[in-house]
Amino acid sequence: MNEGKLIVIASQKGGTGKSTLATNLAAVAANKKEKVLLVDCDQQQSATKWYGLRENQLGENNRITLVEKSFKGMDVKSVWRDIAKFQEVYDLVVVDTPGEAAAFVNSLMKVADLVIIPMATGYYDFWGASDTVQKVLGLNEELETPIVARICLNQVSQTTSSRTTRSVAHEEIHQNQIPIFATTLGKREIYAQSADGIGVTERYEREVLNGKGKKVRLAHREMESLYKEIVDLLKGGVN
């Protein structure tokens, strides 16, 4: 990616894995020598806590910069101005958004190069995520250039085939006109463990060196595959 790109992780529903996705994407990009800024706008500060643990373990090898940022109370132009400054300095800016504060999340989505909506795979999750999907579609009606958005199926049960899960998802959201990433993220313990500050791709490389890595391999492949989809999408500028 030759210019700073803004990825906004957004969902009004809790428990979809926004912070896990944001931190792991930041880690994958940093591992590929991209200059990465992780912006934590969530009042729970999960990304900030993750970053603190990462700093303690990696120190100068962290390769990610964190900014805690609340855009609440700021006018739209101020939000956009701050984001533009970030994009001048970093190759990739990943924003972990709160479930609330719709006005400023909307402001971020309007200037994002890509909005990712994480969605767990139960029917309640599909229905719960529809609020965010509808918000994106509503904003697109106001904008000259539509928001590029994708749904990321997350926490997919290992007892359910990806094909079945994707089929159910398409059945529930096909009318919403927001595509689903081909890559799905499994419900794996290793994603929960990545809250310690080390992304799954980085953990995989460590464990392979130690003659291990089997338990991490599938999550590593998922994140690498998802990241490739994202890079290809950003390079192509496809809606």
pLDDT of residue 43: 85
pLDDT of residue 16: 80
Share of the chain above pLDDT 90, in %: 52
Reported as a single tens digit per residue, the pLDDT across 2-43 is: 579 999 999 887 778 899 999 999 999 999 999 999 999 888
pLDDT of residue 227: 97
Among 3.30.420.40, 3.40.640.10, 3.40.50.1860, 3.40.50.300, what is the CATH number of 5-236?
3.40.50.300
- 162, pLDDT greater than 60: no
* pTM score of the predicted model: 0.89
pLDDT of residue 214: 72
The residue extents of the domains of the chain are: 5-236
pLDDT of residue 65: 96
- For residue 88, give the 3-state DSSP assignment: helix
Reported as a pLDDT band with limits 50, 70 and 90, residue 136 is very high
Share of the chain above pLDDT 70, in %: 83
Instruction: Confirm if 193 and 177 have CB atoms less than 8 A apart.
Output: no
pLDDT of residue 100: 73
- Burial class of residue 85, CB neighbours in 10 A (0-12, 13-18, 19+): exposed
